[in-house]
Amino acid sequence: MADNKVGKRYAEAIFSVGESNNNLKEIYDALNSLMEMYVKDKEFKNFINHPLISLEDKRDFLDKIYKDETEEVKNILFYLLEKGRISDIREIVAEYLKIFYTKNQILDVEATFAMELTEVQKAKLIENLEKSTKKKINIKVNVDKSIIGGGILKIGDKIIDGTIKTQLSTLAKQN
């Protein structure tokens, strides 16, 4: 919970800077890249967290990795480094994305079906969801072979289970 508060506080500040500089996407890409490195590259994580490596050396290293980024973006990364918050990068990125989606009226939807949807089916699903929610939809479709038919939609913290298994189970409970 404390991590989430830290992530939210930093994400709000970073988002505010991004809005004023009109570079929200560039900032997100750099934050996401930093998170990927920190999570997946053990050597990078050890380097960033090592107490005997100077802040200046770490900063120089980040500067080389992000040499193509604007000064504003690099300054945000350096700020996170200086404040010792790179270890909170997952929470910061998650909160940043939440703020971005909220401000742009975008909903994350996770859909699970027995088989892959065609592009036409996927487009129709997105269209129907956008009509019912009045928001743009960012959809991720999963395939779960254990589902006989129907599907499961996860919209935020709401789950709509329209699988045949669930419908049969509901019918059995009613009788």
> Which of 69, 101, 133 delimits the end of a domain?
101
Give the containing element (helix H, strand E) for 139. strand 136-143
Burial letters for 145-160: b for 16+ Cβ neighbours within 10 Å, e otherwise? eebeeebbbbbeeeee
* Pair 91, 121 in one domain: no
145's tokens: 């072979």
Residues of the domain holding 124 = 106-174
pLDDT per residue, tens digit, the chain (175 aa), is 455 788 999 999 999 999 998 999 999 999 999 999 999 999 999 999 999 999 999 999 999 999 999 999 999 999 999 999 999 999 999 999 999 988 888 888 899 998 888 999 999 999 998 998 888 988 899 998 888 888 888 987 788 887 877 777 777 787 6
Number of domains in the chain: 2
The reply to whether 159 and 96 lie within a common domain is no
Beta strands 106-113; 136-143: pairing state: parallel
The pTM assigned to this predicted structure is 0.71
Query: Are 175 and 144 spatial neighbours (Cβ–Cβ below 8 Å)?
Result: no
